[in-house]
Structures are given as C-alpha cells and as structure tokens.
Chains A and B, each alone.
Chain A
Amino acid sequence: MLFKLKVNQRIETVDVSPDTPLLWVLRDVLHLVGTKYGCGMGVCGACTVHLGDQAIRSCSIPVSALGDQPITTIEGLAEAERHPVQLAWESLDVPQCGYCQAGQIMSATALLHHTPHPTVEDIDAAMSGNLCRCGTYTRIREAIQHAAGLGHAAAAHKTAHGA
C-alpha cells in the first residue's frame, strides 16, 4: 500500500503494508538508519523521532497511523549547522557505544523545545524513557544542561524544523 510521508522536509512515497512500524520504514525503506531498533515495544527509546514537535517511539507507530504531521529524524536535526544539543553531546563526549544516542538526542531536543531551561527533575522525567545500556546518563544530563546554557536552544530547534 502506498503512503506519503514528510520526512526531514522531503515528501517520500513508500509502498509497504499498513502495519509496518515507522521505524522499519525509515531504516529499511528510506535507508535513514540513524534511528535505531532497541526493543520494538516502546520501552527503550532507541527509535525516538519527532512527529511534529513531539518525541515519539517510531517502533510503536504503524505507518498507517502517522497522519500528515512532519517527521524529523536524527539525520534531519541538523540542517546548515548542528543543533546545540548535538554540539553539547560532542563537546562533552557523551556516547560510549553510541547506539542509544540518536534516540537520546531526539528526546533531549524535544525537551528543550518545550522547556528551554529544564530543571534536573525535568530532565530526568523527560529522559527516563530512553535507556542507555552503557550508562552514560551522567553525561547526558550534563550535556542537556550545557545545551540549555548554550542558549537559543529553542530558537535553533525551530530553525532545524523550519517551523
């Protein structure tokens, strides 16, 4: 069945069965492999992308349920320049294996979009759906605070979405 999606500012048409999760459309049909498979049941956050300006778990939403909201993946987060969250991740050397980090970054950017100056409690609440098997939570927390401090996080986020 044909579905029309707006992914990272581009209109894509995909021919898949309606129950195919967005995750596998992104990875195996559109070859946007930055979004990762971790659990397939919405409990690890590795597959986090933005639907509109909300962080969602792409493994748990079938392509037929997406509607016409734009989708942003890790590949689409940085347009001309890196998002402050990506810069913070890089300067604090957050990742270990790195496998969870696309999902972490997508959750963190959504958090800062809605809450530009989060408290530690805000951060913990927003990020606790994202598992990191390597245990980089300490660095992730620091990087989010750092990104918020870099300022203009919300503004830059808007630019990244072209919103």
Chain B
Amino acid sequence: MLKDITIGQFFPGNSLIHRLDSRFKIIMDIAYVVMLFTASNYLGLIAVGLFMILLYIMSGVGLRLVLKSLRPIMPLIAITCILNLFFIRGSGEPLLNIGGVIMIYPEGITTSIFMAVRIMFLIIGMSLLTYTTSPIELTDAIERLLSPLKKLHFPVHELAMMMTIALRFIPTLIEETDKIMSAQKARGANLDTGGLIKKAKALIPVMIPLFVSAFKRANELALAMECRCYRGGEGRTRMKQLHSGLKDYIALAVMAVFFAELILLNIYIPYLGIPYMVP
C-alpha cells in the first residue's frame, strides 16, 4: 500500500532524540550531511555509520522501518553504482575489458560501493530527523532559523506555512489516493499491468477525483483559516514555543567533537581514500 512508504513520516516517541529542540536537530542534520561528504575514506564512512546507528538506537526507531525507507531510493543507488562502475578509469590494468568500450577497474568497484553506502547513510540519517520530529515542530524550527531573512523581505512565514500545510496534507492525500484507487479497482481498473502509456491512461480515473477533492479541500482550508482571522505572520504567537536547554547544547557539542575527529581521520589516514570519483 502507498501508506506504508515511511520516508518523511513521523513516529511519535519520548526518547532523548525526540525531545531535543528541533532547531538544533536541523542544524545537526545539516552537519551530519556535511560530515558524510567530508568523510573521504572508508574508515570515516564507517565512523559516521556507527554514529548514526547509535543515534537510531537512542531514538528507539525500529530497524525494519529504516530498511523500508531505503526501498524507494534503490533505483537511484543502482544508477549511481552503474555510472561509477563503468566510467571510472583507474591507473592499473582493467579487471574487465570488452572491446575497449566497457572497462571496469578496481577503483570503479570501490568507488561505487563507497557512493552507494554514502547515499544510503544520507537517506537513513536525514530520515531520523523526520522520524523523530513532528511536522509542526519542524516547520516552526525552519521558520525560526530562517527568520533573519525576513529583513531581506524573504517570505519566511509564508514559506513555513506552505510547508506546514503540505506536510499536514500528504498523509491525507495518500490515504485518499489509496481509497480512490481501491474504488476504481473495484470497477475493474487495471492499474498495475500494461505499458507506460497504458498505465498513464489507467491513472486518469484516479487523478481526476483526486484533483477535484484536493481543490475542494484547499478551498475549504482557506475559508476555515479566513474564518479564524488568519492574516499572515505579523504578530502571530504560538501555542507551543520552542525551548532550547542544556541537553541541546550538549548534543551540539558531541556533534562538534565527532566532526573534529572525522577531519583528523581524513588527514591522518588518507591511504584508504579513493582517487577520484563521479558524483
């Protein structure tokens, strides 16, 4: 079922990770991504991986979910692997040489594995943020973090509001899509088989009702917001304030120490590194 896509979902909980200030979590998430891309050798990558696993254990989010979140990006990983495998030219003899066109070098293999693992870690690590932070907290934090941009007349509040609404309605729309698909299947719709064009055509009976109801919903939501006197971000207060405390600063410090270690690792053990790669 569509509903079982777990990427970007929120799993309520009460772990330390759940309770961290969402602004800090976003900053740390960004730091994590940077870290992942600074790790230029396997040792660094493994270290980042272990760090991530530790965080997952602390958060209490199950491993099966994590693996599930990887499923939709498998094609991307496969493409990356293939590209790296075929296009990286190493210094030594190729392992496989078919007419001088397809050449696979040992470096190609190591790089593709490296890239695959890196993408997986990227998705798994970033997912932790959405798994443990409610959409409202997330957009709140983004609004707060971006608030300096308001001075440049950047519509921060509007952007955050749009994100909140989008996040709020994704599950609703997914549920609705599921329902409409079921209803059309009950009338014999054949949504799974056939070529691309046939499949696209078969989706019309799903898309039209979905759009009709999405527009209706948008209209109703706008009306409901209007009725409650919504008039943009100016002077708006919040029911739930974000609070940062000692634990957030400690978490940030831990992250910083880890980052520093990773950089040292990069400097002192460059031999496991990879000559060059296709991103």
Same assembly: no
Using a CB–CB cutoff of 8 Å, the interface residues on chain B facing chain A are none
